[in-house]
Amino acid sequence: MKSGRWITETGSSTYLSEAVAIWLRDLRGEFRTRYAVNAILMFAVTTLIAVSFSIGSFRIGDAEQPFLYAVLLWIILVFSALSGLSRSFVKEEEAGTMDVLKLSARPQAVFLGKLFFNLTLLGALELIIVPAFITMMNYEIQLPGLFTAMVISGGLGLGAGTTIVAAMIAQASARGALFSVLSFPLLLPLMITAIKGCEKAALGTNNPGWPEVRIAIAYSVVMIVMSLFLFPMIWEE
Amino acid sequence: MYSLKVNDLCKHYTETLLFKNISFELHPGEVMAVAGWNGSGKSTLLRIIAGLVRPTSGKVEMFFKGESIPKESRRRFVGMVAPAMSLYEELTALENLEFFCKVRGIACDRKSCLEMMERAGLTDNTHKLCRNYSSGMKQRLKLAQALVHRPPLLLLDEPGCNLDSKGMKIVESIISAQRQWGMTVIASNEKREVDYGDRIINLSE
């Protein structure tokens, strides 16, 4: 066995390659256990069916539809995300793998890996729920481009916000309650922006430069950058 | 090349004093044993050395060619096995080792992971999910994981936990291989494991 091998070979390691390794491991684990996917999809599908059967597309007047449908869509997306995204860090704590991960990976790489994983879950959720919502509620969208951009940028912000909160609550005792309580005020500005953007897309009122999309992207960038600075402190004891 | 310096370590948990005035130096080829009653702080001392827990006072420093390695980097120079540390149960043994190589940025191929598994006596179970492993096999895999990046500092907290006589021989061979160039700290109550140490710190005293 040769000493010093470690130092030379870690020189090629980047945060991104480490983050990708964590992301792929989480995906593989999730594919085999389906803890988070089941929690998120069950909540989303149940809520969507409950909303479509109780409200339907005919009980709301044409004038209110763009706003109310945007509200309902984002309520389903945000609360579905809250039901499962905390698992990314909580499962490390519960399974006793937190220490070995702390010894192996750099904190920023762990955050990025978990962020990629949560964004993958959110992307899959949006791919299933948004078309289903549009079909079941007969949601008419005048500007599909703005609507799609709003859903994607809103999802990015949602993933960024929930990932850092998931890291914060992972070592707490009342994790479930804490996750929702801490996430809600953090996500409220994003939710309001996303609702406004989707309403405009449905109405066809096109502001130049899509300000809501830009706000959501700015929110996501700020959240990710701040998290990369804060996460090492959370990750330490 | 590498060395470890533990200087005047002290750890309190709220009102309870776990240990105080722990100081030692460790150089390549040396094995330090940490003994003591249950709750005397053996595992905590190892976690402090690894950089997973902060001491109440005192300092742990690791040096490479005389230069101090920053605390945030120190963790990655450590291989650690502890009863409370688990590996990913939903992955196979080989996937676990490959993951720890990738995440540590080690250019490691499947062959070297298989060699490590052979060293741990797990060659017949490389593609078995860890959740289907016995407790002894999990302990062997933990040992393989701790060694996969060939760490200069090996921290073994109760390394013989759940191991049969063949497993204990593997621990013995790992310690003697580490003696060739690296440092080892063993925490245990078992006389056989404590006897591997060139020096002993007894936390019960």
Interface test with A, best of B44, B103, B119, B142 (most A CBs within 10 A): B103
Domain annotation covers residue A101:
yes
B37 interface with A at CB cutoff 8 Å: no
* B80: chain A residues, CB-CB within 8 Å: 99-100, 103
Domain annotation covers residue A209:
yes
Mean pLDDT, range B41-62, rounded to an integer: 94
Pairwise CB contact (< 8 Å): B88 & A22: no
Burial class (CB in 10 A: 0-12, 13-18, 19+), B189: middle
Tens-digit pLDDT profile for residues B147-173: 988 899 999 999 999 999 999 999 999
Share of chain B above pLDDT 70, in %: 100
Q: Phi and psi for B64 in degrees, rounded to 5?
A: -125, 115
Query: At A57, is the pLDDT very low, low, confident or very high (cuts 50, 70, 90)?
Result: low
Share of chain A above pLDDT 70, in %: 93
Tens-digit pLDDT profile for residues A105-122: 999 999 999 999 999 999
Q: Which residue type, as a one-letter code, is found at position A50?
A: A
Q: Which ipTM score applies to this complex?
A: 0.92
Share of chain A above pLDDT 90, in %: 69
Mean pLDDT, range B42-61, rounded to an integer: 94
Mean pLDDT, range B43-55, rounded to an integer: 94
B window 117-136, beta carbon within 8 A of A: 129
Mean pLDDT, range A45-61, rounded to an integer: 84
Residue B203, pLDDT score: 92
Predicted confidence (pLDDT) at residue B14 exceeds the cutoff of 90? no
* A10: chain B residues, CB-CB within 8 Å: 76, 104-106
Pairwise CB contact (< 8 Å): B2 & A3: yes
Residue A5, pLDDT score: 44
Q: Whole domain around residue A34: which residue ranges?
A: 15-235
C-alpha torsion angle, residues A129, A130, A132, A138 (rounded to 10) = 150
The structure tokens listed for A227 are 């998290």
Domain extent listing, chain B: 2-91+152-202
Residue A11, pLDDT score: 47
Predicted confidence (pLDDT) at residue A194 exceeds the cutoff of 70? yes
Query: At B143, is the pLDDT very low, low, confident or very high (cuts 50, 70, 90)?
Result: very high
* Per-residue exposure over A203-217, b if at least 16 CB sit within 10 Å of its own CB, e if not: beeeeeebebbebbb
Residue A3, pLDDT score: 42
Predicted confidence (pLDDT) at residue B60 exceeds the cutoff of 50? yes
Residue A2, pLDDT score: 42
Residue A12, pLDDT score: 55
Predicted confidence (pLDDT) at residue B135 exceeds the cutoff of 70? yes
Mean pLDDT, range B104-132, rounded to an integer: 87
For B61, left (φ over 0), alpha (ψ -120 to 50), or beta?
beta
Mean pLDDT, range B102-123, rounded to an integer: 86
Domain annotation covers residue A9:
no
Q: Identify the residue whose tokens are 């480490």.
A: A18
Least confident of A187-196, B32-41, B105-114: B105-114
Tell me how far apart the alpha carbons of residues A23 and A119 are, in angstroms, rounded to a whole number: 10
* A28: chain B residues, CB-CB within 8 Å: 90-91, 95
A17 interface with B at CB cutoff 8 Å: yes
Average pLDDT taken over every residue of chain A: 89
Residue A86, pLDDT score: 86
Q: Phi and psi for B128 in degrees, rounded to 5?
A: -90, 140
A25 interface with B at CB cutoff 8 Å: yes
Mean pLDDT, range A132-157, rounded to an integer: 95
Which of A3, A21, A105 is closest, CB to CB, to B1? A3
CATH architecture of B2-91+152-202: 3-Layer(aba) Sandwich (3.40)
Residue A237, pLDDT score: 65
Number of separate domains in chain A: 1
Residue A9, pLDDT score: 44
Predicted confidence (pLDDT) at residue A6 exceeds the cutoff of 70? no
Mean pLDDT, range A128-150, rounded to an integer: 94
Domain annotation covers residue A78:
yes
